[in-house]
Amino acid sequence: MMASTAASQDVVMSVPSPCVNICRMDDATGWCEGCLRTIDEISAWSTYDDTTRRAIWDLLDARHIQWLAQHKKAPA
């Protein structure tokens, strides 16, 4: 019973995908418009360990700030 509980916890503790089902690649940045990952990051996500996934999440925070700055609307 202990082994199955540990296996269940591994699944729950796994780092989730940042996918939000808006899958369009931006030619200028090379990022998905929905999750801001590169095509390489998207295609390899299932092979990454949690440490690598967390590192990508950290990159996404910086990319989101950059994206917001690039798409900031001028005051009317």
* pLDDT in 10s for each residue of the chain, 76 residues: 455 455 545 555 699 999 999 999 999 999 999 999 999 999 999 999 999 999 999 999 999 999 999 888 766 6
Which has the closest alpha carbon to 68: 60, 53, 42, 20? 60
For CA atoms 58, 64, 70, 73, the dihedral sign is: negative
**Residue length of the chain:** 76
Here the tokens at position 31 are: 């990022």
CB distance 34 to 19 below 8 Å: yes
Cα angle: 14, vertex 18, 20; to 5 degrees? 130
